[in-house]
Every structure is written in structure tokens, then in C-alpha cells.
Structure 1
Amino acid sequence: MLFDSGVGGLTVLAELRKLLPDAPVIYAADLAGLPYGTKSEAEIAARVAGLLGRMSERYEPRLVCIACNTASTIALGMVRDVLEIPIVGTVPAIKPAAAMTHTGVIGLLGTEATIRQAYVDNLEAEFANGKTLLRHAAPGLVAAAEAKLRGAPVPPATIDAAVAGLREQPKGSEIDTVVLACTHFPLLEDELAEAFGPEVRFVDGAQGIARRIANLTEGQEFSREQPDFAVTTGPLETLVELGNAFSALGIDGLKQF
């Protein structure tokens, strides 16, 4: 089961399909709780742990992936305490970014809740020691990504504000690598790439998450008792509006949780 506040987890599902095309998937979108980035840590931890507890009782998944940086950096430990199945989290891809950068200056775009976490501080200390990590909260990109999947235009001002939030910091002009620390943000990589310019490369955690899931399920047999489906905590109509995006990744059933 892949869990996200919205549909950013589809970027993870796309990579998972490449490695495990036969794996049955339930996608859970907590659209009633979107966005997570503006909520307090206590709210996020309680909501995510509670929802995943109830969803696991109902659907009995063999593994849960929290395909959301905000939820993972805050609630991963609590969820692992609650559930007795493997839990794969999503954390900002600071380690690969540190290996990629040539200038030593890395940008990180995330939600407000993600960029302030000690979890991110620890990743920076462990993997980007001696480098400069500039962080910027870009919550507007979440709504822009969701809108893009519905076929709506992406507001250029939203992209420009995210770029300026990094570029206008000291050493911002030297950024050559940007961590997309929200699973929604890779949906906007084309728009961000155009705004940042050709010298900037992007990195996110989707491929690494897919590899981790493949590793944890190695040797297991996959079979489908029913077609793959998605559930939402919010209005079903909101999920239906995104039906084409789900169908493109092999999920045609859309349900209310």
C-alpha cells in the first residue's frame, strides 16, 4: 500500500511499476487532510498513524510505503511502532544530492513542516557535511502539482516564487543541485527546470524507495485477487477528477475510504 496526503505518491508508484510490474497496489490518498505541510507535528503524527492503522486492518497489506516526505520525517517511527509489517518511508534525497553537486551548494524544496525537521538536520550533518544546503518551503507547489494532473495550467508565479526562495539566499546563485523533498514536486520538474536553467539538476527519492520495496519483497510471489485500486479520505469526486493519472499507472478502481 502506498500512502500520501494527495497524489504526489504517484511519482513513487511510477518507479515501482518499473521494478515490480506484477505487484498489486492499493493507493491511499488522504485528500481530507491535504495539505500536511501547514499542520503541526502532533496533528500529522496522530493522523497518519491512526489512518494507517485503520487502513491496514481493512486491507491487510504486506507492506506500507509512506510516499510523503512530511509524513515520513514526522510519523515514521510512530507508524512502525503501531504496525507489525514493513514500513518504507520517504526522506529528502540529500545523500545523492551531495554526491552530485559540483559547486557544493544544494537547494532543497519541501513543505514548511518538512524543512524544519531535525530529521533533515541529521541528514545534512551526515551526508552534506562541508557543503551548503539551502532550504525553502514551497507549499504552493503541492496545489500546483495536483492541478497539473487535472489538466489545469501551472501558475508561473508559483514556480518563480519557489525558485526565488532558493536563489535569493546567500550562495543561492551557486546552486547546481536541487532536492525535491516532496513527492508532489517531481510532477513539476519540467517547469522548475525551465525556471532554474540548464545548469541545475534535480534529485528525488522515488527510485530509491522503489528499490527498497523491491528489496524487502524479494522472493515473494505476487498475485491479484482484484484489480489495483485507490482510496481517498476526501470527496470521491476529487479522486475521479484525477482518474486519467491513476489509470496511466494501472489503477482504475477509485473508492471512498
Structure 2
Amino acid sequence: MPDPSAPILIFDSGVGGLTVLAEVRKMLPRARVIYVADRAALPYGDKSEAEIAARVCGLLGRLAERYHPRLICIACNTASTIALGMVRDVLEVPVVGTVPAIKPAAEMTQSGVIGLLGTAATIRQAYVDRLEAEFAAGKLLLRHAAPELVGAAEMKLRGGSPDPAIFARAAQGLRSQPRGDEIDTVVLACTHFPLLLPELSAAFGPKVRFIDGAQGIARRVAYLTQGQPWNGPAAGQDQDFAIVTGDATDNPALLRAFQPFGIGRILPL
């Protein structure tokens, strides 16, 4: 059994992993959490596979050695589709990844046409091809890279107002493809994107449903830690902390965004 104070480490390139943290809090309210935002390398989606793999493996190795987590959650689709296997190979700790929710989307769709919004790095991965072949056979999966949404989510969570044209472009990127007008289900294949659900819903219209993997990830985390003791903060207490890489000048605004998720401090790496 792990030490009762051993944390869960939730890792993302920025604030997107907070959507996963929120679901983990619901299932494991007594869990101690360290949230890691690698903002020095944000966004991951415009980097090569080699760059992402090296960075994620290196950072998680250092963090695991320093904080001895009971479990690591890579709350980033791009990092997971590229580096999950490598991280599992090198770390002696359970690692939960994030993958596009293609399977439940295929079960939800009525039209048989599914949209997928992600980063450029995510949508081109063979891992996504395999998910499509396994779970969406007989469906049409249309993919669109929407990197602007990452910056929009970061801005929104810090109190800014993203340009509505960003969401219109994301919708048009899927709608303009053959049979794009038949899309009734959209997979949000980046943990940042659920933070923009109201804006995306307005851009796509009322006939489109959205799905992401946050609940499924939290269920997996809860399953892998079931029966383990916890002595983390009580619900509503801001005793957990975040680690943020990069320039710290924006950290006061970032901390305000983190606080509703139970994060009370920001520390450097």
C-alpha cells in the first residue's frame, strides 16, 4: 500500500488538465494532487514527436523522483498519444493516459459522421487511426487541427475573452469537409477544449453533441487506486499545489484560475 500522503500527479502542457482534475476530485475528494503545467513548452501540438517524447519523459522522470506519486496521469492527448508507452517503460508507477473519446462518440452518433478537434500532433497519430479502425468502423471520422483553441482556453481561464472568430474557424474546419454538414457528434481531443464548451456549442449549433475523455480518465484513476488510504485535504480546502514551468510573471492570474480546482499554491519546477 502507498503512503497515505502520496499524491496523484496530473500532468499537462497548460490548464487543460484541470478538466481531468475536476473529475478526479469528484471521485476521490480526499486525494492529494500535484498539478503540473509545462507552460514553458506550450503548445505541444506544434512540436515534433521526438521533442514531445523527450520532454515528457524527462520531466515526469524528475517529478516522480522528487515527489514519489502513487499514480501519474498524463492529462494531455498529444503527450499521451506520443509518449505514454515510453513513460510506462521507464517509470515504476502506474501511468494513466488520455486518448480521444472515439469509442463513445461512435456509440452516440446518429448520423454516422463524427468530428474530431485536436492539435496537429494529435490528429496525425497512428494511435488515432487505430482507435478509428477499432471503434468507429462504418462511421466517418473527420479530423481538424484547431491549435487556436489551446490559446483561447488559456486566455479564458485567466479571465480573458477569446475572439469568437476562433470558434467559428474551428467549426468551419470540420463543416467544410465532405459530409461535414452531417456531423452530430464532436470529439474534443484536447483537454483544453472542454473549457470552451459554451463557445464551441454556440459555433456548432444545438444539433451537435460534444464528448471528451475526462470522466473516463477519472474512473480509471479511481479504479487503480481503489482501497488505498488517503490523508489529503478535505473537500474545499486549497492545500494542494501546482508546479508551473516557464516564466512566472503570469502566475498570479494563473493561481486565481487554479483555486476553484483546489490548488492553493504555485511552485517552480
TM-score bracket relative to the smaller structure = over 0.9
Q: After TM superposition, list the pairs within 5 Å mapping 1:1-257 onto structure 2.
A: 1-224=9-232, 227-257=239-269
Residue segments in structure 2 that go unaligned for 5+ positions in a row: 1-8
Aligned-partner SS, 1:246: helix
Give 1:224 deviation, angstroms.
3.3
Q: Which residue of 1 aligns with 2:5?
A: none
Give 1:128 deviation, angstroms.
0.2
C-alpha distance in 2 between matches for 1:34 and 1:56: 21
Structure 1-normalised TM-score? 0.98
Give 1:223 deviation, angstroms.
1.2
C-alpha distance in 2 between matches for 1:239 and 1:68: 21
Give 1:243 deviation, angstroms.
1.4
Q: Is the 8 A contact 1:235 1:256 kept in 2?
A: no
Question: Percent identity of the aligned residues?
Answer: 70
Aligned residue pairs: how many? 257
Q: Is the 8 A contact 1:236 1:255 kept in 2?
A: no
Q: Is the 8 A contact 1:236 1:254 kept in 2?
A: no
Q: Which amino acid aligns with 2:129?
A: D
C-alpha distance in 1 between matches for 2:251 and 2:192: 15
Q: Which amino acid aligns with 2:85?
A: G
Structure 2-normalised TM-score? 0.94
Give 1:227 deviation, angstroms.
2.5
Q: Which amino acid aligns with 1:107?
A: G
Q: Which runs of 4+ in 1 moved over 4 A?
A: none
Cα deviation per residue 1:90-120 (whole Å; 9 max; x = unaligned)?
Answer: 0000000000000000000000000000000
